[in-house]
Structure 1
């Protein structure tokens, strides 16, 4: 977020409290509250503004309506008191067959240089799904094929090029602060084709991607072998 170029690819993000919730809901019609440390989409809450004073709160498989002055207390009831949470601008994700999807980009660092070795789309199971995690019912798809059939008219080659470029820049920034050799980046594509950085995973599970794109998976295994032997 401090990088003058990459900050434009990061959704507005703050620590969650009453004042940040108030500001975010004034600014955006959709926000997410998520644990600062978490996995598999657990604990994520979506808040959507329906009207000026009415909000929809979605958590797991439940949805409830709250007035503006009751939103904060309703969210607090869902939070784990032992965790810290962030609040993040919601992205109006592109859709395939009316279901939202995001993209997992895996980068590895053999021979001291970041390489993009795996990419796949994660398609939510329902139009109303809160998250696109495979552990919550989403399905991995070949990204190149899925981009051919999106509900929005998107420039596939431009999106792939931008995804790779933005992902490598993110890896370089994070790699300058942490001793990383592999990263799994969750990237969003909005309905206009803009690229967004949602979150980073330092231990991405890549086994399920073997069937999605065998050519890319071989590239991933080669990089993994170089890093192991190096």
Structure 2
């Protein structure tokens, strides 16, 4: 029973962008070049520059339009402002020369206590059927945070409880249904391309309640999630045991 570790974000994103259902849930994404960057910056309020292969939010840069053809560039090194037509020359020195990068439409994330959050859904395939076995919300430590990775100080919350307490009025049951629909569709589409037994999905909910796909991780780190929803965590451990047993046979 094989399981592929797929590291490239673009390799995982392309099958979803080409799917008639999922393309509606995938932010505009392209390889980073000066023309693609400038096109997106003119089209969207904000864009994110991400390494094609990277973990834990490392190397991610946010560029946000702030009016009068000026932008704000935020990274782990801090925040600077500059004219929009100089933005690409400002981010170029921040990029590692041996890495490929993506530029992606920024999502206006829903917030909890004025801090942005996204959603992690873990799916496993213990008996030939995908099951959602872990879910949580990851809340950024600050209003201005660039990423919502736990490695960068974000905190895990029970997803259902948090959705009922967001700063925006969201239809909790509809958002939960859409999160699960997108998760199962994503797992099935990716599984048609790569042999998978587990996938961790990073999804977003915007301020209007729309669900977006952000990233799929074929080797998800689920440490610390056992206390978020103990019933779901038992389900996760059971599926993990079945998968391990099947792989040993």
Task: Place the TM-score, normalised by the shorter chain, in its bin.
Answer: over 0.9
- Residues 103-143 of structure 1 show CA distances to partners (whole Å, capped at 9, x for unaligned) of 00000011111111100000000000000000000000011
The correspondence of residues 158-173 of structure 1 with structure 2, limited to 5 A, is 158-173=174-189
What is the aligned partner in structure 1 of residue 149 from structure 2?
Answer: 133
Of residues 41, 53, 65 in structure 1, which corresponds to 2:69?
53
Q: Quote the Cα distance in structure 2 between the aligned partners of 1:91 and 1:21.
A: 16
The correspondence of residues 39-50 of structure 1 with structure 2, limited to 5 A, is 39-50=55-66
SS of 2:103's equivalent in the other structure is: strand
What is the aligned partner in structure 1 of residue 207 from structure 2?
Answer: 191
The correspondence of residues 89-104 of structure 1 with structure 2, limited to 5 A, is 89-104=105-120
The correspondence of residues 22-33 of structure 1 with structure 2, limited to 5 A, is 22-33=38-49
**Structure 1 unmatched runs, 5+:** none
Q: How many matched pairs?
A: 230
Determine whether 1:76 maps to 2:92: yes
The correspondence of residues 204-219 of structure 1 with structure 2, limited to 5 A, is 204-219=220-235
SS of 2:224's equivalent in the other structure is: helix
Cα RMSD after superposing both structures: 0.7
What is the aligned partner in structure 1 of residue 6 from structure 2?
Answer: none
What is the aligned partner in structure 2 of residue 202 from structure 1?
Answer: 218
Question: After the TM superposition, which segments of 4 or more aligned residues of structure 1 sit over 4 Å from their partners?
Answer: none
SS of 1:135's equivalent in the other structure is: helix
* Residue 162 (structure 1) shift: 1.0
Determine whether 1:153 maps to 2:169: yes
TM-score by length of 1: 0.99
What is the aligned partner in structure 1 of residue 124 from structure 2?
Answer: 108
SS of 1:57's equivalent in the other structure is: strand
Seen in structure 2, the aligned counterparts of structure 1 residues 179 and 113 have a Cα distance that, compared at 3 Å, is same
Greater relative contact order (Cα 8 A, min sep 6): structure 1 or 2?
2
Q: Quote the Cα distance in structure 2 between the aligned partners of 1:117 and 1:111.
A: 13
Q: Quote the Cα distance in structure 2 between the aligned partners of 1:179 and 1:212.
A: 29
Q: Quote the Cα distance in structure 1 between the aligned partners of 2:144 and 2:77.
A: 10
